[in-house]
Amino acid sequence: MAQKLSQQTLTAISHPVPAYDRAALTAGMVHFGVGNFHRAHQAVYLDRLMNAGQGLDFAIIGAGVMPGDQRMRDTLAGQDHLYTVVEQSAAASDARVIGPMIDYLAPGDSDRVIARLADPAIRIASLTITEGGYFIDAATGHFDPTHPAIAADGQNPDTPRTVFGLLVAGLRARRAAGVQAFTVMCCDNIPHNGTVTREAVVETARLSDPALAEWIAANVAFPNGMVDRITPATSDRERAMVRDDFGIADEAPVFCEDFIQWVLEDNFPAGRPPLELAGVEFVADVTPWEMMKIRILNGGHAIIAYPAGLMDIHFVHEAMENDLVAAFLEKVETDEIIPAVPPVPGTDLTAYFTKVKERCANPKIADTVRRLCLDGSNRQPKFIIPTIADRLAAGQSVDGLALESALWCRYCAGVTDSGKVIEPNDPNWDRLTETAQQARNDPSAWLNMAEIYGATGRDPRFASAFADWLAALWRDGTAATLRRYLGG
């Protein structure tokens, strides 16, 4: 019989559990966005550290912002903020219960969140709010302070609803009390994520208090970081596996690959846990690692996702078993993406890509193609289009990347090659679908989405290749078009 997970039942669980006294933990960090990635990444590093007897004053306080966070908050509270992490290689699965989180503030409880942020014991506020959560205008590449949610926080700074409004309110309270500012640590897959977060926080503050904005700009650290771990969504399948295979009744387990990486700039004036003891690599400038990961791994995910989605392939490892998808990934990465990645200290880019392929082919992860297809309107401008722009500026071919863009457009038309309806899979799905259907006869309609493509969509070399591939996809289908590309 499975053991219901709680602090009281830890001694009855036969798999590794926290070796530290959780009652002795004290909060040092508030984290926004307690999703699976955070729970399989940042929290795992802290658990490692705490098991070594370090960082016990950096326990995590979760903070909900979106209404959907309430369910996770209630679930974790019901099991004393403990949960199971199942790390899966192709050959084995290992389960561990971790417990660096000690509280989770409910979405909408702005007063308690701000009070926690104002507490001098909190030295880091961290975020995993997805690539689309930063209100970036793709046409300019900068934060959009006119977004209705941000504008509302500017008009009502004492009752903020966004992450950035809450961070500003917490920093305002610290400044008023003469307390040193906390460090804001972004853990999302965004180029220069600390710089992006800095602009969002400073410009949100400027809407209501320009002097506070200047104080934040001068006093708050926003280190850039590169994070990496493939972490699929949790479903009833995963809950059943934890119960049946490991004997743990856990309503919020998280499954992930056995690979994990975190490269972080060491800029924490208020202090930080010694995460280097848990495997975090601290560097002066994270840019080379960041570009490598975003272009090769995240860009590679897009290359896999859209042809697989159009050919009704469900799992990512199944896509990697498809000769056409695997060859498409190999050719675009080798010919166009890897040559556009600058050297990374101590890293062989070809070996890194080989590891990416191995990770994507891991059948234990059961990552879905649909997850990789998700939110292209936010991911393409970060993971694909910058490489296109760099290659165009260098006078180099973008044939494969143009095909990837055409595949995304074709996917957003809302039906696979077999005629199966694709359910909405983007915050802007309705608009994307309408535009993709227009693009069938007028490809420029797609590339004219300036908030996504910017000036790149107007480049005649890219536009011509895109139009050619999109016509082929509609006329011949995905498999035949991939064969044409691979045939040279």
Do 65 and 163 touch, CB atoms closer than 8 A? yes
Domains along the chain? Answer: 3-283 (3.40.50.720), 287-486 (1.10.1040.10)
Residue predicted with more confidence, 117 or 378: 117
The mean per-residue pLDDT over the stretch 4-21 comes to 97
Helix pair angle (460-476, 385-393), 10° resolution: 130
Do 130 and 231 touch, CB atoms closer than 8 A? no
Q: How many residues does the chain have?
A: 488
Helical ranges in 268-298 per DSSP H: 287-292
C-alpha of 261 from chain center = 13
Helical ranges in 78-162 per DSSP H: 110-118, 148-155
pLDDT confidence tier of residue 50, bands split at 50, 70 and 90: very high
- What's the confidence (pLDDT) of residue 140? 79
Is the pLDDT confidence value at 136 over 90?
A: no
pTM greater than the 0.85 cutoff: yes
* Bridge partners (DSSP) listed for residue 248: 3
Is the pLDDT confidence value at 191 over 90?
A: no
d(CA 306, CA 352): 22
pLDDT tens string 101-116: 999 999 999 999 999 9
pLDDT tens string 360-391: 999 988 899 999 999 999 999 999 999 999 99
Residue predicted with more confidence, 194 or 232: 194
